[in-house]
Amino acid sequence: MSVIPDSDLPQEAGAPQVPAADQTLRILSFLGRQRGPVAARTIAEQLGIPRSSVYHLLSAMAAHGFVVHLTDARRWGLGTAAFELAGGYTRQQPLARLGRPLVAALADATGQSAHLAVMSGRDVVYIVEERAPRRPALVSDVGVRLPAHLTATGRAMLAALPRAQVRALYPDAAAFADRTGRGPRRPAELRELLRVVRAEGYASEDGEVTLGFRSVGVAVRDHAGWPAAAIAVTWPDDEARAEAIRPLVADAAAELARRIR
């Protein structure tokens, strides 16, 4: 099959070129590779785009939620719409395909239900769910969305994000959903919770999603250190199993991180 050069493709009379689209995608790709929000001047210098154009494009992207402006820091980072795109991609195949056998093995090893989730804005979306035999039904089924700050998977991923990104996602008390009356309700409470998650290397929740159930979750980091997903196990809170389950969840998350790299 021959390939037609771009120069030979038919062009509409007067059809405009789209350098703005190219520059927009380059800016998004650049922000996606950074460890945290960056200044507009840095974007302009690194990409060779006029600063006035960078500000114009950033403002347009911010209006659609693809970037956020951290006013105090005078920096720009990826917004929730960008996370939606990332979550949409991961739900369509690679992570679910690679993670399903690991999550199934984790459910077998623990005798409890295990799941794999990705971030989508301020929510997590479950993309793999393995129910252990004779275990109670859970709300975390494939395709279900839950508030990230209440779930073990969400907390594990939020703790792996740059702190400025978390501030952009949870700027005030209005950003915090509630299910059972438990869990953080203000940015300061979330910051403290995530500090503990970073220190311990895993996230947990106790009745924040469903009363009577506990979970332990660990983030799955990609090659750049960003949280591509998280794996968790959930069990009835009258069963003292946390100490035995944590290392198994950590091992599964580490193996999935190795596979996606």
pTM of the model: 0.68
Lowest mean pLDDT among 87-91, 112-116, 205-209: 87-91
Q: Is the dihedral of CA 238, 246, 116, 171 positive or negative?
A: positive
- Of how many residues is the chain composed? 261
For the chain, how many helices (H) and strands (E)?
A: 9, 8
> Is residue 9 over pLDDT 70?
no
Ranges of each domain in the chain: 16-78, 83-260
The two three-digit tokens of residue 156, written as one number: 């594990």
Provide the pLDDT confidence category of residue 136 given band limits of 50, 70 and 90. low
> Is residue 192 over pLDDT 60?
yes
Average pLDDT of the segment spanning 187-209: 96
Angle formed by the axes of helices 51-63 and 19-33, nearest 10°: 80
Provide the pLDDT confidence category of residue 133 given band limits of 50, 70 and 90. confident
- The third-level CATH classification (topology) of the domain covering 16-78 is Arc Repressor Mutant, subunit A (1.10.10)
Q: Cα–Cα distance between 145 and 234 in angstroms, integer?
A: 16
Q: Which amino acid is at 175?
A: A
Average pLDDT of the segment spanning 180-184: 94
Residue of higher predicted confidence among 51 and 12: 51
Q: Cα–Cα distance between 178 and 43 in angstroms, integer?
A: 37
Q: Cα–Cα distance between 184 and 206 in angstroms, integer?
A: 12
| pLDDT tens-digit map of 26-50 | 999 899 888 788 999 999 999 999 9
Residue-averaged pLDDT of the chain: 86
* Residue 1: predicted pLDDT: 39
Provide the pLDDT confidence category of residue 218 given band limits of 50, 70 and 90. very high
Q: Cα–Cα distance between 152 and 219 in angstroms, integer?
A: 9
Q: SS3 of 221, please?
A: strand
- The third-level CATH classification (topology) of the domain covering 83-260 is Beta-Lactamase (3.30.450)
Answer whether 16-78 and 83-260 agree in fold: no
